[in-house]
Structure 1
Amino acid sequence: MAGILFFLAQVPREEFSLTFLLFSLAFAGMVGLFFLAEEKLNFRSVLLAGLLLRLAVFPFAPQWSDDFVRFLWDGELLKIDQNPYDQTPREWQEANDDPDNSYLNQLFDNLNSPDYYSVYPPLNQAIFWLGAKASKCFVWNGYFTLRLILLLGEIGVFVLLWKILMAFQLPIKRIFWYWFNPLVIMEITGNLHFEGLVLLFLMASIWAIQKGKLGLSGGFWGIAIGMKLLPLMLAPAFLALGKSRKSVWFWVGTALATLISFTPLLIEHSWVNFAQSLKLYQGKFEFNASIYYLLREVGFWIEGYNTIAFLTKILSLSTGILIGYFSWKRQPKSLFELVDLMVLIYLVYLILQPVVHPWYILPALGLSVLRGKMTFSLWGFGAIFSYQAYENADFQEQYLYLILEYGLVVLGIYLDYFSKKMKPHRHIEVT
């Protein structure tokens, strides 16, 4: 697998056929390891094997995403005491154009969003700053530093997954679905996406609940919110769980961590531009969607144009209603029922979103490992079909690949939620 990932990390996303072939081989390798592995596994051996796979992609620049350029750009602004939320890159470049600053000029020329304010929360910006400080005006140094930080986060995820699986006497080889997963390795270590850190703090929150440290659990959840905002949608799940709902310390920990995380947005009214970018993102972009695309076609048929502005509002409202309903209906009484609900919330959100990049599914994939559910494991393979769009100059998606991807998702939903052969899971009270 390491050899396959070594070559996969060098393949541009525009070469979909080769990307799909190598990814499929790596995914098959993971599945093979899962079925061949014994129930008793050595912690150090599994840890080192996963690290070896990640080190195989370490030397190469991200090939599937250019978001890391914005990470380094924002970090460079912070390094020179500039506010990355104050101006768009183009506005900053026009006001501060320095022909001698070849590094910033190089970053600007490779940005994919020079006309948008930064959409990355302050905790992300702190990590970007570390990458910029270590870069010494060399891109490789910058993304190497970010990669090292994300790798440390991945080790943390591995340790927490192992501890939780061991504590509840669950099959330890379930960890393979995350630790050896080529999508996880490529999107986090390879392409520098921060969903691995989000998962780290969600796992830490779950582990702290299991240990009865409710204030700490709330704090970890607050940090996860500070990393990506999206974990805020898990609030109904924590409200539905009696132990967290009744704990003042849980909510104090959450409030403190969240407030500290977002306080920098109060500087120079940064929150205004930050919120503007979030709003723009929700009402303008579309990629690799499912239900949204079906409704969009209905909108074309009825109205004769793309009704994205209307649909995003309706789908956002529907997402909130469904999350609230499932949280009220399920009322988790055990730690794993809470995890089940968290995974379901992510599923509802992603199914109704107009933009679903492959790395968006990774926190839910990691959480679902604890329950042995298949939806996100199957989606972890199906997500590779979304990269087909990049082989076209206009990023045109083909419905065949969308059908293949979401066909696997539907299969997973059937197996996890509707199959009569579902086995009952261990019930562990936490209330």
Structure 2
Amino acid sequence: MLQFLKFHKIPLLLFLTAAVFYWSFVYDLDRADFPKMLMLYAGLFFLSFKIIQLLKTRFWLLAGAALIFRLIFLIALPDLSQDFYRFIWDGRLLANGINPYLSTPDLLMKSAHFGNISQAQELVNGMGALSASNYTNYPPINQLIFAVAGKLSENSILFSVTIFRVFILLAEIGILFFGRKLLKKLNLPEHYIFWFILNPFVIIECFGNLHFESVMGFFILLSFYFLWKRKWIISAIILGISISVKLLPLMFLPLFLKFFSSKKNDSENIENRHSTTQFSEKITDLKSIKWAKLIGFYAIVLLTVVLSFLPFYNSAFLSNFSESVGLWFQKFEFNASIYYIVRWIGFQIKGYNIIADAGKVLPVVTFIIILTISIFRKNNSLKSLISGCVFALAFYFLLSTTVHPWYIVTPLLLSVFTKYRFPIIWSFMAILSYSAYGNAEFHENLWLVALEYIVVISFAITEVFFPKKLSFSLLS
């Protein structure tokens, strides 16, 4: 023990300091105090960087540190998000045999036939008027997790939160286990996975604030792992499950176009050997695609998704769910980049907010970009496929009207299996969006939003087009 302390004095000091910072973040931070939040987060990011750097050969020490940091959050209610109240609400509805997709919380509370859901008014007040007045948009596997908490914890909000955290912890343990395996298969250092597992962004947003991106990320990663093992049927089923946690992986489907090709690159080194010709694949190479296998993969993915939704289906379900999802494109706006420029242009030309029109056009532009990546980029190895997914997500978020910080969890996870580091920079810069909590009107500081995206986009452009200018590696 004394010898261990002697040789690990600095990492231990860093660990203890980080633990104190996390404790302060959880139990001694008002979310309106943005300067303190920013200082704590910057400190945690630096401390995590140094801990990984010093202990990158001590895998289980890093894993233990990640677990301990998470346990600090275990008995605390989330402070930076109120979404968990809606999770508990949906789960208790399901536990009482009520389909959560068929009515809004506001309407149910006014209904004379509404059953006795424990703490109903507290949950509605907690989720806020915006959530309470809209239909749920959480897919079935997410709802299943909510239902487990609803069944096991009928009268305690804190116990429900703890159950959610158990699911998230299990998912992140799975990411650690299979991420390590996949990194080895791709000939990448196994400690890279800790830029996800030990990243304070992930610990705070997923385990702390109860966002299920890491659960979705686990299924995406597991799907890619089985894809590497050439078990594409199992991979397709698991990818379908990931879509039923969050709809986001639907956008990956076009990127599989060239993966099922007779021109495979088994060495998985295509990304390194062709870094200057990433987009040089010719349309004529589409002839090498194994269309039967590709169509079969798509069919299994979509069938898995459809089957997961069937228990909830009735005539009103599709309308309610699509209406709720559509709100994110045509009503809500937060921490956007290109859209804010489009909005400004709209005010100059039209004299009003054009989000309703832009919300219809920007997803089409995103789809065209993803289709272009699918056709012209080499995605016939797992490394290049994952890189394609990172770029697809990046373009999607850059063109979105709403980009909450936790959305960056998925590109961050996938980036550790590639040579691209801009999602790590993004995971740090995303904290700037919380400046909106620093005022009673919840107004964004557009200068900070601009700073966030200028830094992220500049770093991404440098990585893609001028990689030699970056004389360091964030993950080395």
The CA deviation string for residues 175-226 of structure 1, in whole angstroms up to 9 with x for no partner, is 2211110110011100110100111111011100111101011111111111
- Indicate which of 74, 78, 87 corresponds to 1:71: 87
Determine the structure 1 residue equivalent to 2:254. 236
Q: CA deviation at 1:372?
A: 3.6
Q: Name the counterpart of 2:146.
A: 128
Whole-Å separation in 2 of the counterparts to 1:283 and 1:227:
22
Q: 2:58 aligns with which of 41, 47, 52?
A: 41
- Number of the residue aligned with 1:170: 188
Encode CA deviations 1:22-70: one digit per residue, 9 max, x unaligned: 11100011111233334x333x333222111111121210010000000
- Which of 317, 326, 336 aligns to 1:279? It is 326
The residue type equivalent to 1:3 in the other structure is V
SS at match of 1:396: coil
Query: Post-superposition shift, 1:374?
Result: 1.3
Shift of 1:173: 2.1
CA–CA distance in structure 2, aligned partners of residues 422 and 339 of structure 1: 24
CA contact (8 A) 1:197 1:227 kept: yes
Does residue 195 (structure 1) correspond to residue 213 (structure 2)? The answer is yes
Q: Which residue of 1 aligns with 2:307?
A: 260
Query: Taking structure 1 as reference, are residues 150 and 311 closer, same or farther at Cα in structure 2, changes over 3 Å only?
Result: same
Cα pair distance change 1:228/1:97, threshold 3 Å: same
Work out the number of aligned pairs and report it.
421
The yes-or-no answer on 1:300 pairing with 2:317 is no
Partner of residue 9, structure 1: 26
Quick one: which amino acid aligns to residue 89 of structure 2? W
Q: Distance in 2 between matches of 1:245 and 1:228?
A: 27
1:382 counterpart residue number: 429
Deviations 1:292-313 (A, max 9, x none): 0011001111111101111111
Q: Is the 8 A contact 1:195 1:360 kept in 2?
A: yes
Please identify the structure whose Cα radius of gyration is greater: 2
CA displacement at 1:157 relative to structure 2: 0.8
| SS of equivalent to 2:468 | coil
| Distance in 2 of aligned mates of 1:251 and 1:100 | 42
Distance in 1 (alpha carbons) for counterparts of 2:33 and 2:151: 34
Q: Deviations over 1:90-131 (max 9, x none)?
A: 110011488986611211221221110111111111111111
1:287-326 aligned within 5 A: 287-326=334-373
1:373-412 correspondence runs (5 A)? 373-412=420-459
**Counterpart AA for 2:358:** L
The answer to whether the 8 Å contact 1:119/1:274 transfers is yes
1:227 aligns with 2:245: yes
Q: Report the Cα offset of residue 242 of structure 1.
A: 2.3
2:390 pairs with 330, 343, 348, which one? 343
Match of 1:142 in 2: 160
- C-alpha contact 1:88 1:114 (8 A) present in aligned 2: yes
Is it true that 1:250 corresponds to 2:259 in the alignment?
Answer: no
1:324 is paired with a residue whose SS is helix
Point out where structure 1 has 5 or more consecutive residues left out of the alignment. Answer: 424-431
SS at structure 2 position matched to 1:124: helix
AA in 2 matched with 1:108 = V
Q: Distance in 1 between matches of 2:41 and 2:112?
A: 43
RMSD of the alignment, in Å? 1.9
Give the 3 Å change call, closer, same or farther, for CA 117–372 of structure 1 in structure 2.
same
Kept in 1: contact 2:93–2:117 (CA 8 A):
no
Show the counterpart of 1:154. 172
Q: 1:62 aligns with which of 78, 83, 88?
A: 78
What is the rounded CA distance, in whole Å, between the counterparts of 2:256 and 2:115 in structure 1? 52
Partner of 2:99: 83
Partners of 1:97 and 1:278 in 2: how far apart?
27
Report the secondary structure of 2:257's partner residue: helix
Written as runs of structure 1 = structure 2, the 5 A alignment for 1:366-377 is: 366-377=413-424
Residue 141 of structure 1 aligns to a residue in which SS?
helix
Deviations 1:229-255 (A, max 9, x none): 111011111123125855265334313
The one-letter code matched in structure 2 to 1:276 is E
CA distance in 1, matches of 2:82, 2:105: 15
Unmatched tracts of structure 2, length 5 or more = 1-17, 262-289, 471-476
Which residue in the other structure is 2:127 paired with?
111
Q: Partner amino acid for 2:222?
A: A
- SS of residue matched to 1:146: helix
For residue 335 of structure 1, report the CA deviation from its aligned partner: 0.8
Q: How has the CA–CA distance of structure 1 residues 376 and 246 changed in structure 2, closer, same or farther, with 3 Å as cutoff?
A: farther
Identity %: 35
TM-score normalised according to structure 1 size: 0.93
Deviation, structure 1 residue 136:
3.0
Equivalent position SS for 1:343: helix
Deviates more, 1:14-23 or 1:62-71: 14-23
Deviations 1:250-296 (A, max 9, x none): 33431332122221342353222111111223210000000000110
Are 1:240 and 1:331, in contact at CA under 8 Å, matched by a contact in 2? Answer: yes
4+ residue segments displaced more than 3 Å: 96-102, 243-246
1:206 is aligned to 224
